[in-house]
Amino acid sequence: MTTDMEMRAPLAGVRVVVTGASSGLGLAMAKALLQSGATVAMAARPGEKLEAAVHGFASKALPAVKLPLDVRSEASVERAVAWVRQTWGGLDVLVNNAGIGMRTVNPRFMVEPQPFYEVTPEGFRDLMDTNLTGYFLVSRGFAPMLVEQERGKIINISMNHATMRRAGFVPYGPSRAGAESLSYIMAEDLRPYGVTVNMLLPGGATATGMIPEELKAHIGPSLLSPDVMAEPIVFLASEKSNGVTGERIVATEFEKWRAERFGG
């Protein structure tokens, strides 16, 4: 029987790390997790945005904590893992979300797509180091803890397949395609230890700040709210998703996916 407390706070006692949590999808997912009772370490590069985000939740008595993290740095990841181990003694859910977008390589990517051969090696490496290598480094850092526990959940945030094939989307498209392949392999590597790995993506262009304000008119009024991630991220962090692994879930199609997967 489900108690009133479980209905109000289905994630009570669940410890979550969300990377890239100071804005966009990360901030929206952290909010949904906190409101569902989880304790959330908001991991992002130190600065005013992270401070403001954590303070905003703390002022509402939501258990958000600050976790300075540069996902591109092995040393920074090691410090974050050490903090979680020493402070929490373990981890229940890791959400890999930290990333940068095409605007860092080509600010006018929506209206003046740049062919791959005009992308600078520096721009390619910087985005891949964040969006793909960052997922690898953070997962690599926390995985031994989850393996020791013989339980845990990793959720990797991705993007539509169309983005991976679209003209002018190097290196963002390859970074997300690589993260999806990484996710499938992680799911198989961790399956014997009771640790699950799934992917979650919004299902369309989302109002996260990755699209410059002056270019939003070229997309139209169809930008999704980051809150589209709320219901599926809470589900994936909860006991309801136990045993689900290697899945690619589209937030705008979440209800359909859940009905097909579980019936009803």
List pLDDT tens digits, range 69-119: 999 999 999 999 999 999 999 999 999 999 999 999 998 888 899 999 999
Question: What is the C-alpha to C-alpha distance for residues 24 and 227, in angstroms, rounded to an integer?
Answer: 9
Sheet with 152-157, strands from edge to edge, namely: 64-68, 39-44, 15-19, 93-96, 152-157, 195-201, 248-250
pLDDT tens-digit readout, 191-202: 999 999 999 999
- What is the DSSP code (8-state) at residue 224? B
For residue 148, what pLDDT band results from cuts at 50, 70 and 90?
very high
Contact of 252 with 224, CB cutoff 8 Å: yes
Q: Compute the mean pLDDT over every residue in the chain, rounded to the nearest whole number.
A: 92
Contact of 14 with 241, CB cutoff 8 Å: no
Return the pLDDT at 151: 98
CA nearest to 160, candidates 252, 27, 235, 241: 252
Q: In sequence order, what are the residues at sequence separation of 6 or more whose Cβ sits closer than 8 angstroms to the Cβ of residue 197?
A: 153, 154, 155, 156, 183, 186, 187, 190, 245, 246
- For the chain, the structural domain boundaries read 11-262
Question: What is the C-alpha to C-alpha distance for residues 257 and 174, in angstroms, rounded to an integer?
Answer: 26
CATH 3.40.50.720 fits 11-262, yes or no: yes
Return the pLDDT at 223: 85
Return the pLDDT at 237: 98
Q: What's the whole-model pTM score?
A: 0.92
Question: What is the C-alpha to C-alpha distance for residues 151 and 167, in angstroms, rounded to an integer?
Answer: 40
**Residue labelled with tokens 């359909």:** 256
The tokens for 85 are: 């181990």
Amino acid found at 170: V
Lowest mean pLDDT, pick from 20-24, 137-141, 216-220, 225-229: 216-220
User: Torsion angle of alpha carbons 234, 20, 95, 143, nearest 10°?
Assistant: -160
